[in-house]
């Protein structure tokens, strides 16, 4: 079937990727079907995939290209991200499906799987003559593949297999040139295992060719945080302990663990969310201005934040953290199962499904400013946000201002909507007594820009195809995060998480954590 002409990228869209062979190990798994393929389809729709780019799924399933394309078509048809983006024209879907290939390969019994993968990748893309693809492939791509094409290996597999897959790629002559590897989180269970994985991967792929993905860093609002801080002069003078009282970072989910119990019980909320997602957001809030928006300059400043975190261990960790586990109850008008009653659960499990903690960045800018991090499942609402609360005015002059008002807050909402809102006080309209009430200044990305915001995976996949690691984690970042988290997890050993009801705001201990300093959690009024 002739390849139809690629779409023209809309104004403001991310730049197109270089011609690439994207190989997804675990290509029939949950991550590939729910996140990667829908994101790649949307890249296709926006004209950001080069005409000769191929997507190669590798899995144990003994299916051919046609069957895999059928599975992929069914997966993207009802995907929420695809549905939100609007109808996908039939020629676009056909062009996308034509890019897909499947290579059966069982790591324990590979047969001729590696040879078949090698043959496919070494062969030139099979596109009809005259579509301009051959000239493009020769002119625009990375060395190390036919026609100067880039090659990316996405390991959507358990981290324990990362080193083995990389070694096999090298043994079969597939890891040379400028080929790159993408590693999904969590990278290990602790500092020791993270180092082992990094060493094994690093024996094949240099740090420059290793991309550790955290999809939170691909969210539009997270990147807008960098623009907000470093492209607007008015915030920098007040972005310090003199003016900011505290910072809250929340990632709340309404769902439980469900069928992921086997994975989740080995990780828990601390490893699954705090060690990567929430600490990355803390870094972006607390980092010093980099010298430039350069791939290493940004990551250098993030590492400095992680290295500045005051250690939490022993009694200090127990005092400054709260952990919980959801129990059975009613949520949204229906009965839900508790964590220990989920399919495949250990009825005596002490794994936490909720974590709240108080962190301190021990440097001059942030001395005395607590950073409160919170994440949990079976919460009242699904939202992720950062709240920067400023200090109170030093001397109130308006009637009632001393007791009936809220301090200024900057609220950066990551999901479900992407919004930046600055809470201020303004005079209530009308004659008579002067009364103050909160009045937000709001920037809604969807309302302010007539461009669809790319999904996080869309942006990050384009970045890795173009070899841009700015929004990916470096080895020293990952290990610095584990170095801080490990003592907290160690302090929890032998303790049980506090039970909490579904559909609420977490265990009592999380509220006590802030209440002892006269503070309270911001409960995300934009999502009510």
| Residues assigned a catalytic role | 277
> Strands across the sheet with 419-427, in order?
436-444, 419-427, 409-415, 383-390, 244-252, 370-376, 354-360, 321-326, 498-500
Helix, strand, coil percentages, rounded to 5, for the chain: 40, 20, 40
Can you give the C-alpha Rg of the chain in angstroms?
Answer: 24
Report d(CA 306, CA 280) in Å as an integer. 9
Report d(CA 370, CA 249) in Å as an integer. 11
Report d(CA 320, CA 457) in Å as an integer. 34
Specify the 3-state DSSP secondary structure of 272: helix
DSSP code at position 271: I
Which residue blocks in 290-367 are alpha helix, DSSP H? 295-308, 314-319
Contacts of 173-176 with CB under 8 Å at 24 or more apart are 173/118, 174/114, 174/117, 174/118, 174/121, 175/204, 175/205, 176/144
3-state secondary structure 32-69: HHHHHHHHHHHHHHCCCCCCCCEEEEEECCCCCHHHHH
Provide the token pair at 71: 């599975």
Count CB-CB contacts under 10 A for residue 504. 14
- Determine phi and psi for 79, rounding to 5 degrees: -75, 130
Report d(CA 48, CA 39) in Å as an integer. 11
For tokens 């007040």, the residue is: 238
- Determine phi and psi for 126, rounding to 5 degrees: -90, 80
Cα diameter, the chain: 85
Q: What angle do CA 388, 282, 316 make, to 5 degrees?
A: 100
The closest alpha carbon to 35, from 500, 454, 495, 478, belongs to 454
Q: Are 325 and 498 in contact (CB under 8 A)?
A: yes
Provide the token pair at 459: 């942006």
């Amino acid at each position: 079937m002739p390849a139809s002409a690629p779409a023209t990228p809309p104004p403001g869209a991310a730049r197109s990727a270089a011609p690439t062979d994207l190989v997804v190990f675990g290509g029939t798994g949950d991550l590939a079907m729910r996140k990667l393929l829908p994101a790649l389809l949307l890249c296709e729709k926006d004209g950001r995939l080069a005409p000769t780019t191929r997507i190669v799924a590798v899995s144990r399933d003994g299916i051919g290209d046609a069957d895999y394309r059928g599975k992929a078509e069914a997966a993207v048809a009802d995907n929420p991200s695809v549905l939100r983006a609007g109808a996908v024209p039939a020629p676009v879907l056909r062009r996308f499906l034509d890019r897909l290939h499947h290579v059966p390969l069982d790591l324990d019994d590979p047969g001729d799987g590696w040879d078949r993968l090698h043959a496919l990748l070494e062969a030139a893309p099979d596109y009809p003559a005259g579509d301009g693809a051959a000239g493009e492939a020769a002119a625009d791509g990375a060395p190390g593949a036919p026609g100067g094409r880039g090659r990316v290996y996405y390991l959507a597999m358990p981290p324990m297999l990362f080193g083995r897959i990389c070694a096999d790629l090298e043994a079969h002559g597939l890891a040379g040139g400028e080929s790159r590897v993408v590693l999904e989180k969590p990278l290990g269970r602790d500092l020791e295992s993270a180092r082992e994985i990094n060493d094994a991967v690093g024996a094949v792929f240099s740090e420059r060719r290793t991309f550790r993905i955290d999809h939170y860093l691909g969210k539009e609002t997270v990147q807008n945080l960098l623009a907000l801080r470093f492209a607007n002069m008015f915030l920098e003078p007040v972005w310090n302990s003199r003016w900011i009282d505290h910072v809250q970072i929340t990632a709340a989910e309404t769902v439980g663990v469900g069928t992921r119990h086997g994975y989740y019980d080995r990780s828990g909320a601390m490893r699954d969310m705090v060690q990567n997602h929430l600490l990355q957001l803390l870094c972006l809030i607390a980092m010093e201005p980099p010298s430039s928006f350069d791939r290493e300059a940004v990551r250098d400043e993030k590492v400095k934040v992680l290295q500045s975190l005051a250690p939490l261990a022993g009694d200090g960790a127990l005092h400054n953290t709260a952990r919980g586990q959801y129990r059975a109850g009613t949520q949204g008008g229906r009965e839900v199962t508790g964590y220990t009653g989920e399919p495949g659960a250990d009825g005596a499990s002490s794994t936490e499904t909720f974590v709240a903690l108080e962190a301190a960045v021990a440097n001059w800018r942030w001395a005395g400013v607590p950073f409160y991090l919170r994440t949990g499942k079976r919460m009242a609402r699904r939202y992720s946000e950062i709240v920067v609360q400023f200090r109170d005015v030093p001397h109130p002059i308006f009637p009632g201002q001393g007791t009936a008002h809220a301090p200024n807050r900057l609220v950066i909402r990551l999901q479900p909507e992407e919004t930046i809102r600055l809470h201020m006080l303004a005079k209530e309209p009308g004659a008579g007594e002067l009364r103050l009430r909160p009045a937000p200044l709001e920037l809604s990305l969807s309302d302010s820009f007539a461009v669809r915001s790319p999904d996080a995976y869309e942006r990050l996949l384009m970045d890795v195809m173009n070899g841009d690691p700015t929004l990916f984690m470096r080895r020293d970042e990952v290990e610095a995060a584990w170095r801080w988290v490990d003592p907290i997890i160690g302090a929890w050993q032998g303790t049980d998480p506090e039970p909490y009801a579904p559909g609420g705001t977490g265990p009592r201990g999380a509220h006590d954590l802030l209440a002892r300093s006269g503070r309270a959690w911001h409960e995300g009024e934009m999502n009510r």
